[in-house]
Amino acid sequence: MHELSLVGAVIESLEELARERGWKKVTKVTLKIGQMRQVIPEVMVFSFSVATEGTIMEGSSLEILEVPVTSRCLFCGEEWDGLSFICPRCGSDQIETASGMEMDLESVEVEE
Amino acid sequence: MPRRIAIQRSVMAADEKIAEKIRKDFSKRGVLMLNLIGSPGSGKTALLEGTLKDPVFRSVVLEGDVATSRDAERIARTGTPVVQINTRGGCHLEANLVEKALEDLEMEGVDVVFVENVGNLVCPAEFDLGEDYKVALCSVPEGPDKPLKYPHLFMKAEAVLLTKVDLLEHLDFDRNLFWKDVKELNPRAERLEVSALRGEGMAEWISVVERWIRAKRP
């Protein structure tokens, strides 16, 4: 549901970077998005194609690198895939999400 | 030929900067900021009305809604300063909207800023407003399965409130299941049961807020 706001933020920061660095056109945008961020890639790609019309990103492709969720035990340091709340090695419940929360602008391809 | 350029920064960098600014400013002033998140109709406004009725601390309220100023009017009746933010379709509040709304409020002597987010269990959990804590609300009629269906919010909340508990006697709500799931997702969160209508649990909720206010004071 919030994909359009995220796309809006991507466009804003790329327009600013383009002004600073003198890019004429952006041809590809790569985002790194964690699977915990409740983003639907297809909705993101569609929002991006609509919202970039009339900008230097018009017609560019959007690539989304999905980052799987991993958890880490704060007590013994064990790491594992997925979301669970008890450490499989030591049984501690002091768990943090180690990856899967990313929402990063990773790279762009530009014409200068 | 196009050239690849690494950027590696958060998509929401601009908004996160504003959130950090708000957090720093309130930290200096010793003002607590809470971000109330729950479904439409989960009782967020009713909880605030109950909290502000006989005030034991000085509050201001930011009301986030897609449309109308109905909630702000309800809060204004308690005598608490309030600003309505209409997102015009937006499903959540962002720090830039909060920053603008805060300009309209006198902060001298204020202990706590309550932000009532747009009714929604998904998107509001994703955006940092500069708050100290997120408070998750789930009402009895919504059913006990919400924490596991919307884990992100319940994992990040400092307190989870089960609201409208006066309805427990009328509905088949598995309270043990609800709290078991909350505990698994977030063992450290405060767990409270309230009925803003009957006043049940409100004293406990208010004392939690008072404790947070005391911890925030310089």
Residue B7 placed within a domain: no
Q: Does the pLDDT value for residue A94 go beyond 90?
A: no
Residue B8 placed within a domain: no
Q: Using one digit for the tens of pLDDT, what is the confidence trace for B82-91? A: 999 999 888 9
State the Cα–Cα distance between residues A12 and A8, nearest whole angstrom.
6
DSSP structure class, residue A38:
-
What's residue A77's pLDDT? 96
Task: Say which residue the tokens 């919010």 belong to.
Answer: B153
pTM comes to: 0.90
Query: Selecting from 3.40.50.360, 3.50.50.60, 2.160.10.10, 3.30.2320.80, what CATH number does the domain A3-111 have?
Result: 3.30.2320.80
Q: C-alpha angle A107/A110/A111, rounded to 5°?
A: 170
Q: Which helix (H) or strand (E) holds A71?
A: strand A70-73
What's residue B128's pLDDT? 95
Confidence of residue A93 (pLDDT cuts 50, 70, 90): confident
Q: Using one digit for the tens of pLDDT, what is the confidence trace for A71-88? A: 999 999 999 999 888 899
Question: What is the bridge-based pairing of β-strands A25-34 and A103-111?
Answer: antiparallel
Calculate mean pLDDT across residues B129-147: 98
Does A85 sit within 8 Å of B185, measured CB to CB? yes
Q: Using one digit for the tens of pLDDT, what is the confidence trace for B89-106? A: 889 999 999 999 999 999
Q: Does the pLDDT value for residue A90 go beyond 90?
A: yes
Domain boundaries, chain A: 3-111
Neighbouring C-alpha atoms within 13 Å toward the C-beta of A24: 5
Candidates B2, B94, B184; nearest CB to A111: B2
Question: Contact at 8 Å (CB) between A14 and A26?
Answer: yes
- Provide the domain limits for residue B174: 13-213
Residue B5 placed within a domain: no
Contacts of B91 in chain A (CB under 8 A): 1-2
What's residue A83's pLDDT? 85
What's residue A44's pLDDT? 95
State the Cα–Cα distance between residues A76 and B51, nearest whole angstrom.
42
> What's the domain count of chain B?
1
Sheet containing B133-139: order of strands: B82-86, B59-65, B112-116, B32-38, B133-139, B159-163, B190-193
**CATH no. for residue B18?**
3.40.50.300
Collect all residues from A whose CB is shorter than 8 A from any CB in B.
1-2, 5-6, 9-10, 12-13, 17, 27-28, 31, 36-38, 83, 85, 93, 97, 103-112
Q: Mean pLDDT score of chain B, rounded to an integer? A: 95
Q: Using one digit for the tens of pLDDT, what is the confidence trace for B32-61? A: 999 999 999 999 999 999 999 999 999 999
A:B CB pairs within 8 Å? 79
Q: Does the pLDDT value for residue A38 go beyond 90?
A: no
What's residue B165's pLDDT? 98
* 3-state SS string for chain B: CCEEEEEEEECCHHHHHHHHHHHHHHHHHCCEEEEEEECCCCCHHHHHHHHHCCCCCCEEEEEEECCCCHHHHHHHCCCCCEEEEECCCCCCCCHHHHHHHHCCCCCCCCCEEEEECCCCCCHHHHCCCCCCEEEEEEEHHHCCCHHHHCHHHHHHCCEEEEECHHHCCCCCCCHHHHHHHHHHHCCCCEEEECCCCCCCCHHHHHHHHHHHHHHHCC
State the Cα–Cα distance between residues A13 and A61, nearest whole angstrom.
17
What's residue B5's pLDDT? 93
Contacts of B120 in chain A (CB under 8 A): 1
Q: Does the pLDDT value for residue A1 go beyond 70?
A: no
Sheet containing B3-10: order of strands: A61-67, A25-34, A103-111, B3-10
Q: Using one digit for the tens of pLDDT, what is the confidence trace for B162-202? A: 999 999 999 999 999 999 999 989 988 999 999 999 999 99
Task: Compute the residue count for chain A.
Answer: 112
Contacts of A37 in chain B (CB under 8 A): 126
Residue B137 placed within a domain: yes
Calculate mean pLDDT across residues B96-123: 96
